[in-house]
A and B are shown apart, each in its own frame.
Chain A
Amino acid sequence: MGQTLLQIEDLHTQFFTSRGVVRAVDGVSLHIDAGETLGVVGESGCGKTITALSVLRLVPEPGKITSGRILFRGRDVTKMEDEEIRDFRGSDVAMIFQDPMTSLNPVTKVGFQIEEAMTAHNRFSASLAKTRVVELLKRVRVPAAETRVKDYPHQFSGGMRQRAMIAMGLANEPSLLIADEPTTALDVTVQAQIIQLMKQLNRELGTAMMLITHNMALVASLCQRVVVMYAGRIVEEGPVEQIFRSPQHPYTWSLLRSVPRVDEARKDRLVSIRGLPPDLTNPPPGCKFHPRCPFVVDRCRVEEPSLGEVALNQVARCWVLMRNVKEEDVAAAKASALSIEAAQKLKADAEAAAAEVDSVAGS
Chain B
Amino acid sequence: MTADPILLRVAGAFKHFPISGFGGGAVRAVDGVDLEIRRGETLGLVGESGCGKSTLARLITALLPATAGKIVFDGQDITRLKGWRLRRVRRKMQMIFQDPFASLDPRMTVGDILQEPLDNFAIGSMRDRRRRVQELLRLVGLNPNFTNRYPHEFSGGQRQRIGIARALAVNPSFIVCDEAVSALDVSIQAQIINLLQDLQKEFQLTYLFIAHDLAVVRHLSDRIAVMYLGKVVETAGRNDIYERPQHPYTKALLSSIPVPDPAVERERAPISLKGEIPSPVNPPSGCRFHPRCPIARVPGICSEQEPPLEPHGARDQVAACHFAGQA
Contact = CB atoms under 8 A, between A and B. Distances in A.
Interface of A: 43-44, 143, 157, 159-160, 187-193, 195-196, 214-222, 240-241, 244-245, 254-256, 258-263, 265-266, 269-274, 276-277, 337-340, 343-344, 346-347, 349-351, 353-354, 357, 361
Interface string B239-260: 1001000000000111111111
A254 B191 CA distance: 12
B276 A272 contact: no
Interface residues of B, number: 56
Nearest to A215: B258
B134 A350 contact: yes
B201 interface: yes
Nearest to B216: A260
Contacts of A337: 190-191, 194-195
Contacts of B277: 187
Pick the 7 closest A-B CB pairs, nearest first. A192-B256, A260-B219, A273-B187, A272-B190, A217-B258, A258-B190, A270-B190
Nearest to B128: A354
A67 to B, nearest CB: 29
23 contacts: A189-B253, A192-B270, A195-B258, A195-B270, A217-B215, A217-B260, A220-B262, A221-B265, A240-B262, A255-B187, A258-B190, A260-B215, A262-B215, A265-B218, A266-B218, A266-B219, A270-B194, A272-B187, A272-B190, A272-B191, A338-B191, A343-B199, A354-B134
Interface string B286-315: 000000000000000000000000000000
Contact of A221 (B131, B186, B258): B258
Contacts of B259: 217, 220-221, 261-263
A343 B190 contact: no
Contact of B193 (A195, A215, A218, A270): A270
Interface stretch (B26-34, B58-66, B136-144): B136-144
A220 B186 contact: no
B214 interface: yes
A65 to B, nearest CB: 26
A225 B97 CA distance: 36
A188 B276 contact: no
A337 B192 CA distance: 10
Most B CB within 10 A of own CB, among A222, A241, A350:
A350
Given A259-B190, A269-B197, A270-B219, A216 B139 contact: no
Interface string B108-146: 000000000000000000010001001100110100100
Given A217-B259, A273-B190, A346 B272 contact: no
A43 B189 CA distance: 11
Contacts of B188: 272-273, 276
B4 interface: no
B144 A350 contact: yes
B219 A263 contact: no
Contacts of A259: 186, 189-190, 215, 260
Contact of B260 (A191, A216, A273, A353): A216
Contacts of A187: 48-49, 212, 276-277
A340 B139 CA distance: 11
Contacts of A159: 276
A44 B218 contact: no
Contact of B214 (A222, A262, A340): A262
Contacts of B72: none
B40 interface: no
B167 to A, nearest CB: 16
Given A240-B262, A340-B198, A350-B138, A189 B218 contact: no
Contacts of A274: 191
Contacts of A262: 214-215, 218, 242, 254, 257, 259
A337 B188 CA distance: 11
A219 to B, nearest CB: 8
B198 A343 contact: yes
